[in-house]
Amino acid sequence: MTLDIPAGFKFAGVHCGIKRKRRDLALMYSEYPCSAAGVFTTNVVKAAPVIYNMEVLRSGSPVRAIVVNSGVANACTGEQGLKDARRMAEKTADVLKIPLSSVLVSSTGVIGVPLPMDKVEHGIEMASSRLHHDPSEAAHAIMTTDTRPKVASRCFEHAGKMITVFGMAKGAGMIHPNMATMLAFLFTDARVTPRALSNILRRSADLTYNMISVDGDTSTNDMVLLLANGASETPGIDLYTPGFQELFNAVNDVNEKLAKMIVSDGEGATKVFEVRVEGAKTDSDARLIARSITSSNLVKTAIYGADANWGRILAAAGYSGAWFNPENASLEIGSNGEWVVLLDRGTPVEFDEASAKRLLSQNEIVISLKFLDGNGKARAWGCDLTERYVEINGRYRT
Looking at residue 44, its pLDDT comes to: 81
Q: Please name the residues in contact with 167: beta carbons below 8 A apart, sequence gap of 6 or more.
A: 151, 152, 153, 184, 185, 186, 187, 254, 255, 258
Domains and CATH numbers, the chain: 9-264 (3.60.70.12), 272-394 (3.10.20.340)
Helical spans, DSSP H, in the chain:
48-59, 78-96, 117-128, 136-141, 194-207, 244-264, 283-295, 297-304, 310-318, 353-360, 387-394
Q: What is the pLDDT along the chain (398 residues), one digit of tens a residue?
A: 679 999 999 999 999 999 999 999 999 999 999 999 999 987 788 999 999 999 999 999 999 999 999 999 999 999 999 999 999 999 999 999 999 999 999 999 888 999 999 999 999 999 999 999 999 999 999 998 888 999 999 999 999 999 999 999 998 654 444 544 589 999 999 999 999 999 999 999 999 988 887 554 556 788 999 999 999 999 999 999 999 999 999 999 999 999 989 888 866 678 999 999 999 999 999 999 999 999 899 999 999 999 999 999 999 999 999 999 999 999 999 999 999 999 999 999 999 999 999 999 999 999 999 999 999 999 999 888 888 767 766 665 55
| Residue 372: per-residue pLDDT | 97
* Confidence at residue 214, expressed as pLDDT on a 0 to 100 scale: 59
Selected catalytic residue, list 41, 108, 164, 181: 181
DSSP-assigned beta bridge partners for residue 344: 347
Contact between 180 and 108 under an 8 Å Cβ cutoff? The reply is: no
Check residue 175 and give its pLDDT. 43
pTM > 0.85? yes
For this structure, is 398 an active site residue? no
Q: CA angle, corner 308, sides to 303 and 311, nearest 5?
A: 100
